[in-house]
Amino acid sequence: MKIYRVGIIGCRGRGTAAARAYHTHPRTELVGLCDLIGERLNTLGDEVGVSARFTDLDEMIRQTAPDIVAIPTGTEFHYDLCMRVLEHGIHVEVEKPMCTDLTQADALIAKAQEKGRRIAVHHQGRVGAAMRAIEQALVAGKIGELRYIVTTNKGYYGGYGLMNIGTHKINDMLKFGGPCRTVAAHATTNGHSITPDDVLQAPGGMGTIAGEHITATLQFDRNVTGTLLHNQFEPINVAASVMELYGSEGQLFRHIDSAWWLPQPHFIPAGAHDRWEALTPIYPEHYDRKNAASPDDYWFVDEYVRALDEGREHECSGSEARHVIEVMMGIFESAAHANRIDLPQENREHPLLRWRKESGLGAPDAMPRAYGEWLTAEFRRLGR
């Protein structure tokens, strides 16, 4: 059976997580690491036993001939790096979001098709251990007919949370609801509906955003409705980020790597708190829970191996990631114009930049990249 050769560009936190998963999977071999910072290269290279260390992506590809290059870098670098890897005729794994707008997403999908290569986007939760337990319970009919899905954010500034954690949440909803066909959203900043002046450059290189608080309603193909909540709260709380699936006969609940089932359609605290049943996470048969790789990252790698073996797209494919971006752009457009938005959009320009242009404004001013500094600058703008 083919062993897939893997190179990684970017050796910080997400690069380390990816390296551990590829290093421990029996069907992948890490053949090269790339980073501009020597200390990161050496720390990760020593951990996973990779001596081929580079500061130039193209040189890494030429010398190591990988089948896959993983790109766990800052979002603003995704598009250019993906294009460079695809030009070499190499399969891509890229961190979420795949890129920052639909123009870039369309170009990446076109380039991958031109080169006959695959793009997988690192929405690891969708294929992870807890999600597989939820999928198994849903298929088994434990909640009857799925009716609607609710997902929430960690408390990031709404527009930034949408481009960050929202990419995971929307991708998870697509797994169960099917393609999203319409979006209706409302966004506020400082207590008022957003205006073109509230369109900002996002922290973390995540493009253009608006909205301190965002509420969106999504309609999916499978007669499923979704509600997406992204509200700015302090402090950020990982425990606040959940997904709930409501069916005709019960509920399913997911939080990171845990999942539960409630055998009734509505939660009644007085009688239901002790009826939640924990679902057992599902792990690959060859996954060693003692190793350093997270099970969801490992599942993501396992899905890529099987997809390439079978000549098909990864479940978290570039096309699916582009649809996630379509949903996010639809949310911004709906909030800006107070309209329901049908998907996919005919106009692929970023709706918030188009809104500013129509209002006689240019691109938003530069903002700090780090989230904490960015939030301080935004609160200053708002007079807080």
pLDDT digits (tens, 9 = 90+) for 122-176: 999 999 999 999 999 999 999 999 999 999 999 999 999 999 999 999 999 999 9
Tell me what pLDDT residue 290 has: 84
Structural domains of the chain ordered from first start: 4-123+292-315 (3.40.50.720), 124-282+316-384 (3.30.360.10)
pLDDT digits (tens, 9 = 90+) for 165-216: 999 999 999 999 999 999 999 999 999 999 999 999 999 999 999 999 999 9
Tell me what pLDDT residue 270 has: 67
pTM of the model: 0.96
pLDDT band at 379 (very low <50, low <70, confident <90, very high): very high
Phi and psi torsions of 373, nearest 5°: -70, -40
Tell me what pLDDT residue 274 has: 67
pLDDT band at 273 (very low <50, low <70, confident <90, very high): low
> Is the pLDDT at 254 greater than 60, yes or no?
yes
pLDDT digits (tens, 9 = 90+) for 56-97: 999 999 999 999 999 999 999 999 999 999 999 999 999 999
Look over the chain and give the mean of its residue pLDDT values, rounded to a whole number: 96
> Considering only CA atoms, which of 338, 15, 371, 339 is closest in space to residue 161?
371
